[in-house]
């Protein structure tokens, strides 16, 4: 989890972890391997030619940061 650049606030860790777990376990319906096994979103987000999922995992972390930031921003604007 990273710091929200706009407000300087750190996103809610439990929300971030929940979003990360959901996206980390998500398999793509129309993106399959050679054996027709559905691939994880993390696999699809990997840098072309990558030999592991570290780049995909980094992309997923950034996506989680943005999702949680948007949720928190919306919640804050509704509470005003």
Tell the residue number behind the tokens 């994880």, with chain if given. 40
17-27 as b/e: b if 16+ CB within 10 A: eebbeebbeee
Tokens representing residue 5 in the block = 């650049």
Tell the residue number behind the tokens 């998500």, with chain if given. 26
45-76 pLDDT, tens per residue?
Answer: 999 999 999 999 999 999 999 999 999 999 88
The domains of the chain are located at: 13-78
DSSP 53: S
The reported pTM is 0.74
Alpha helices in 1-80 (DSSP H): 13-24, 41-44, 54-78
What pLDDT is attached to residue 11?
A: 57
Lowest mean pLDDT across 26-35, 40-49, 54-63: 26-35
pLDDT band at residue 7 using 50, 70 and 90 as cut-offs: very low
């Amino acid at each position: 989890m990273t710091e929200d650049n706009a407000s300087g606030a750190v996103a809610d860790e439990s929300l971030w972890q929940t979003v990360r777990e959901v996206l980390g376990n998500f398999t793509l319906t129309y993106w399959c391997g050679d054996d027709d096994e559905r691939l994880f979103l993390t696999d699809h987000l990997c840098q072309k030619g990558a030999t592991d999922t570290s780049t995909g995992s980094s992309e997923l972390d950034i996506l989680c940061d943005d999702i949680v930031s948007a949720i928190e921003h919306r919640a804050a604007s509704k509470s005003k």
